[in-house]
Structure 1
Amino acid sequence: MTAATTAEDRQPPAAPVPLTGVFDTDRERATARLRNATGQLAAMPPRARRSLADTTRAQHLHDAARQLRTAFLELHAERVYDTLTAGRTAHLRLVEVAHAAGRDFPGLAPSARQMTEEAARPQSEKEGWEIDQGILFRALLRAPGPGAHLMESMLRPTPRALELLPGFRDTGEVVLKAARLERRRGAGFVTLTNTHCLNAEDNQHVADLETLVDLVLLDPQVRVGVLRGGVMTHPRYAGRRVFSAGINLKELRAGAISFVDFLLGRELGYLSKMMRGLVRADRPWPGTDAQKPWLGVVDGFAIGGGAQILLACDRVLAASDAYFSLPAAQEGIVPGVANLRLTRFLGARQARQVVLWGRRIEAGEPAARLVFDEVAAPDALDAAVAGSVARLANPAVAANRAMLNLADEPAEQLRAYLAEFALQQALRAYSPDVLAKLHR
């Protein structure tokens, strides 16, 4: 520890920035202080090479800056969002909102350059700028107008899906890195193909699934979406289908799991689209959004994020030797929207047993029938899938499932949940206990 560092560390913290409630005044004051804090952090050694004094000083800088960001956004979230979206005329996705905030409000949110540098580091060596993105999105989602607009923007088809749509309509097939889509007899069969890691979720997995969910919802020849795991190449399960092993913890340890694109983006992206359908800018009369029923098919297991997917499906089939679990407390993170949805399926007590205590529910247990609608022998599962697809293709199913989802989970309830989730999940991803588990 150098004398200079010690003296600097002992300096009293800067006085809080007085906010007036006047947007332009507060913007100037806050961004000036936040740019200064960001500059001081940039001048320090990388996190992995900091002394104890450096680490303490960096934490003080972060704490003061985050308190200021939170206070500013509590006053001005609507004005910030309107600035970023040209008065809500632009429909930006999460990553576009994040980058625009870093550009138009320096220091309020990390810049695109900062996030590019951060992405190259292991999770334990990152500065933690995703926490500041969590602060931003918590505030935007808490504000009713901006939050609703942002959620609707995320329900629009992705440019990638629109680009692939003509080819899919012609051929009935799209093959992506982590999943593929085939149209067969009016159903869109989405097969998860992250086979080397038991369909564990990563950034690629989330991006590919959203693209394929969009295509199912966009293609008028498809009436039902079906999600199923592919045949594994992993040595332990070679030749067998597996639904999903949840979040890829190796990727999280390597710093390759994005907060915006994965941890928050999957909830507002493909999972919300499965529940609520697509919002089309060119939607014809009567203006209803594209909604279709979804069938989940579980071979092997649905762990963590895999179990979360099932909660967005209208019907779930499972092999008799399958199980599901949500080991969120053991992993140290929040299991997406499962804490909102699981109590509707299992009830409050059993949901706590699964989320907090790591309870694993086997397909043969009575409780499993609260998530699995039908359990079949592995060799009878294909026939059960065909029967369910035929029933779900009934034209009245789409309208009724839309109304059931509206009653079960109003958009305002989801918005309020996701606002708090945005910050809590970002904090958990950088908490000491999670980093220690990832290291082990």
Structure 2
Amino acid sequence: MTAGALGRWLAGRPELGGTLDADAAALSTHVRAGERLVAALPAGPRRTAEEAAEAARVTEVAREVRQCFLRLHADEVYDALTEGRIVHHRLTELAHAAGERFPGLVPTRAQLDAERALPQAHKEGREIDQGIFFRWLLRSPLAGPHLMDAMLLPTARARVLAAEFRAGGTVDLGSVLLERRGAAAHLTINNQHCLNAEDNRLVDDLETAVDLALLDEKVRVGVVRGGVMTKPRYRGRRVFSAGINLKDLHDGRISYTGFLLGRELGCLSKLLRGLLVDPAPDAFPERTVQKPWIAAVDSFAIGGGMQLLFLFDRVIAEEDAYFSLPAAQEGIVPGAGNFRLARFTGGRLARRIILGGHTIRARDPEAPLVCDEVVPHAALDAAVERAVAELDSPAVAANRRMLALAEEDTDRFRAYMAEFALVQALRLYSADVLDKVARSWATARAAS
């Protein structure tokens, strides 16, 4: 890239403020010209310091133009992609549609496919552009609620499997086994190869299982528990969750829309707010179906596993279990953990847990702030059955719906998720995260 070419491109930055189509065309022309300049450089790891600085400058300015465009046209863009907020697209579908309809606004499917094959440290960071896109959509009081509704609808996979689960009462999704036992749907997490750490497949399987449990009229309570592990250190023991799969993060296999953002707006929101079965604003008697949820925690609930607990109506832990949110030590944001944890623990302890990596053990005095009951391992099954019996009531479902409304305002949650959408995308590609993930991966590889 010559200094003259970069200078001419910078000088050609468009002044936006016209119609949607005119500004979209100007953005596309400028951003795609910048991409051609970057494409002429060597691939990321082979760039000199000067070349890396040039590429970073082009990327920075292109993102400023995208920000300006979305500040002006976010609602118009969303309406164009959803036929005036009639069609509901999930995050990934919406991002792909935006890449086709508004070239240069977000990465195309082909660009993301090319990056998917690369380790995280070798990517161009195109998912940050998706973060900008979703930040502005979620900030909008028109587009944001409609997008959140889209993520509360049953997944296509769950719609296909619903009849099978209703008829047989069991579905093995791969990393989650779903079984109906009496009034309860038991979701057993079986991601044994990584101690039930969360990856793309597990997030998809867990959301599908939650959908199926909520769609089945015979199910009145949901139970989530970790399965029995096969890795030597924990062989024969149950584990609830080891948090995000750092190996997959290192290898570039953690999806932004499918996992980091989609998990919060999809599976986790359904656990709290229920499944949207009728998107009509005047649906009667309710737009969503909700049921109480129980978590049974064996061994540990780390990271995303601990985040899950904030959504459950009853948390039962074995006496040797512990809870932690090490995302700050890993360099990322623990989902909506920052939004929810202080409601349970108070602000001072929440800061110790999130910023300082403080671990709570089931025997600690503060354990009742994050779990309801601590029992010996041998008594966990019986405690779960008692909890199912206690929560198996239509009045419980109605009251937990009202509790959720009182405790977590949807507009405040939407505002949080708007900022999270960009902050987490930036963290995903920050130098300190890439360095920490590389060191964790090297340590794990040496130990295996």
Same fold (TM over 0.5): yes
Deviation at 1:410, TM superposition (A): 1.2
The question of 1:426 aligning with 2:425 is answered yes
Cα displacement string for residues 323-375 of structure 1 (whole angstroms, at most 9, x for unaligned residues) = 10001110000000000000000000000000000000000112110111000
Deviation at 1:15, TM superposition (A): 4.4
The structure-2 alpha-carbon separation of the partners of 1:282 and 1:360, relative to structure 1 and needing over 3 Å to count, comes to closer
1:245–1:306: 8 Å Cα contact kept in structure 2?
yes
CA distance in 1, matches of 2:150, 2:8: 45
CA distance in 2, matches of 1:30, 1:288: 39
Deviation at 1:305, TM superposition (A): 0.5
The question of 1:112 aligning with 2:106 is answered no
2:278–2:287: 8 Å Cα contact kept in structure 1?
no
TM-score w.r.t. length of structure 2: 0.95
Give 3-state SS (helix, strand or coil) of 2:11's partner. Answer: coil
- Map of 2:388 onto structure 1: 389
Equivalent residue letter for 1:179: V
1:188–1:225: 8 Å Cα contact kept in structure 2?
yes
CA distance in 1, matches of 2:326, 2:436: 13
CA distance in 1, matches of 2:60, 2:242: 35
- Map of 1:63 onto structure 2: 60
2:277–2:287: 8 Å Cα contact kept in structure 1?
no
Q: 1:126 aligns with which of 113, 123, 126?
A: 123
The question of 1:191 aligning with 2:169 is answered no
Deviation at 1:257, TM superposition (A): 0.2
CA distance in 2, matches of 1:326, 1:138: 24
CA distance in 1, matches of 2:200, 2:325: 20
The structure-2 alpha-carbon separation of the partners of 1:25 and 1:7, relative to structure 1 and needing over 3 Å to count, comes to closer
- Map of 1:315 onto structure 2: 314
The question of 1:401 aligning with 2:400 is answered yes
CA distance in 2, matches of 1:434, 1:128: 13
Equivalent residue letter for 1:24: D
Give 3-state SS (helix, strand or coil) of 1:333's partner. Answer: coil
Q: 1:252 aligns with which of 236, 249, 254?
A: 249
CA distance in 1, matches of 2:57, 2:72: 23
| Larger mean Cα displacement after TM superposition, 15-24 or 293-302 | 15-24
Unpaired runs of 5+ residues, structure 2, are 440-448
- Map of 2:442 onto structure 1: none
- Map of 1:438 onto structure 2: 437
Cα displacement string for residues 111-164 of structure 1 (whole angstroms, at most 9, x for unaligned residues) = 011011111110000010000000000000001110000000110000100100
CA distance in 2, matches of 1:21, 1:6: 30
How well do the aligned residues superpose, as a CA RMSD in angstroms? 1.4
2:136–2:418: 8 Å Cα contact kept in structure 1?
yes
The structure-2 alpha-carbon separation of the partners of 1:12 and 1:292, relative to structure 1 and needing over 3 Å to count, comes to closer
Give 3-state SS (helix, strand or coil) of 2:163's partner. Answer: helix
Deviation at 1:27, TM superposition (A): 1.7
Cα displacement string for residues 297-318 of structure 1 (whole angstroms, at most 9, x for unaligned residues) = 1000000000001111111000
Q: 1:180 aligns with which of 177, 182, 189?
A: 177
CA distance in 2, matches of 1:145, 1:395: 33
The question of 1:209 aligning with 2:174 is answered no
- Map of 2:445 onto structure 1: none
- Map of 1:139 onto structure 2: 136
Give 3-state SS (helix, strand or coil) of 2:142's partner. Answer: helix
CA distance in 2, matches of 1:196, 1:202: 11
1:321–1:362: 8 Å Cα contact kept in structure 2?
yes
The structure-2 alpha-carbon separation of the partners of 1:282 and 1:147, relative to structure 1 and needing over 3 Å to count, comes to closer
2:278–2:288: 8 Å Cα contact kept in structure 1?
no
Give 3-state SS (helix, strand or coil) of 2:253's partner. Answer: coil
Give 3-state SS (helix, strand or coil) of 1:72's partner. Answer: helix
TM-score w.r.t. length of structure 1: 0.97
- Map of 1:200 onto structure 2: 197
Q: 1:45 aligns with which of 42, 47, 55?
A: 42
CA distance in 1, matches of 2:279, 2:369: 38
Equivalent residue letter for 2:260: L
CA distance in 2, matches of 1:10, 1:74: 26
1:5–1:53: 8 Å Cα contact kept in structure 2?
no
1:244–1:301: 8 Å Cα contact kept in structure 2?
yes
Give 3-state SS (helix, strand or coil) of 2:276's partner. Answer: coil
CA distance in 1, matches of 2:234, 2:54: 48
Unpaired runs of 5+ residues, structure 1, are none
CA distance in 2, matches of 1:80, 1:42: 27
CA distance in 2, matches of 1:30, 1:126: 23
2:17–2:72: 8 Å Cα contact kept in structure 1?
no
The structure-2 alpha-carbon separation of the partners of 1:282 and 1:92, relative to structure 1 and needing over 3 Å to count, comes to closer
Residues matched between the structures, number: 437
- Map of 1:223 onto structure 2: 220
Give 3-state SS (helix, strand or coil) of 2:403's partner. Answer: helix
2:12–2:30: 8 Å Cα contact kept in structure 1?
no
Equivalent residue letter for 1:22: T
The question of 1:417 aligning with 2:416 is answered yes
- Map of 1:287 onto structure 2: 286
Deviation at 1:89, TM superposition (A): 1.0
Give 3-state SS (helix, strand or coil) of 2:23's partner. Answer: helix
The structure-2 alpha-carbon separation of the partners of 1:277 and 1:238, relative to structure 1 and needing over 3 Å to count, comes to same
CA distance in 1, matches of 2:279, 2:346: 40
Cα displacement string for residues 64-110 of structure 1 (whole angstroms, at most 9, x for unaligned residues) = 00000001101110000001111111100000110011000000110
2:9–2:34: 8 Å Cα contact kept in structure 1?
no
Equivalent residue letter for 2:215: L
